[in-house]
Amino acid sequence: MGASISVRVSSAKKRTKMLAFLSEHYRRWEHVVAGAGYLNTDPDDFEIRKKDISFDYSALHGWERVYVYSTIRWIALKVGDKKTRFRKDDVEPNVFLEPVPYMIYDEFDSWPILVCKSERDAMKLPIKHRWCSTDEYGVYLSERTSESLVCAANEGALFDVDREKAQKVQKAFTEELGALGEWPPYGSKEYQQRMEKYKRIRAKYARTEIKVMLPKVRGELKRLDKLWSTLKEKP
C-alpha cells in the first residue's frame, strides 16, 4: 500500500507557481548525493490535487525520505495554509495560540510545523511537540528532537552510504544489541526499559551518519529557498 504527503494551498496562484518552481529546480536524490537513493523521486512526482500540492509514494527509504518530507514541509512554510487547531490524535496539546503551518499525511492527519532557531529552542517545546520542530527550511534539527532521523540513518546504511563501512557498523550494532538478551513481555516495565536501551544504542550508531547526511539535506533545501527568494513576483 502507498501513502501520500501534501500541503494545503488555498491560493490557486501559489499552487501553480510552486509546482512550476519544483518542476524546474527540484533535484532527484541521486543528484543531491551522487550514487545515493532508492526510489529517486522526480519533480513530476509532485502534483496539484484540488487545493493541495501532493506527493504519492509506495516506498520511500532512508535519507531520500527525509529529503522528500523536508521538501513538503518547506513548501508548507513558503505557500501553505496555517491553522490553530489539530486533532488530538495528531498532536497534543492540539491547539496553538497562533496559526502554524502544517503538512498532511495520507489526506487525513495534519502535522504542525514548528520552526525553531536551534535544537536548544526545540527542546524547550512541550515534549509531545518536539517531533514537529524544524529549522527555517523545514528540516529536522537533530536526532534528539526527531527519532525519524535515527530510522533514516539505519535505513540509509543500506542505500546511501559506503556498503563496506555500513556492514561493519551494522555488525557492531547487532552485537551490542544482542548483548541485551531476549525481549521482556510486551507492555511490561522491563520491556519499556529495554526499549529505551535499544533506542540509545541505535542512536549511538546513527549519530555519525546523521552528522554527515543531515547537512546535505539542509544544504539542498537552502538552495531551493535561495532560488525561491530570487523570484521577482512573490506569492
Supply the pTM of this predicted model.
Answer: 0.84
Predicted local distance difference test score (pLDDT) of residue 120: 94
Closest CA to 212 of 170, 173, 157, 167: 157
Nearest to 211 by CA among 142, 146, 139: 142
Q: Indicate the range of 9-18, 121-130, 178-187 predicted with least confidence.
A: 178-187
At 18-66, the pLDDT tens digits run 999 999 999 988 888 876 655 567 777 899 999 999 998 877 778 888 9
For the chain, the structural domain boundaries read 3-141+214-229, 148-213
Read off the pLDDT of residues 63-100 as tens digits, 9 standing for 90 and up.
888 999 999 999 999 999 999 999 998 899 999 999 99
Tell me, what's the pLDDT at 152?
76
Instruction: Please tell me the predicted confidence (pLDDT) of residue 148.
Output: 81
Which of 199, 198, 201, 209 shows the shortest CA–CA distance to 156?
Answer: 209
Type of residue numbered 124: K
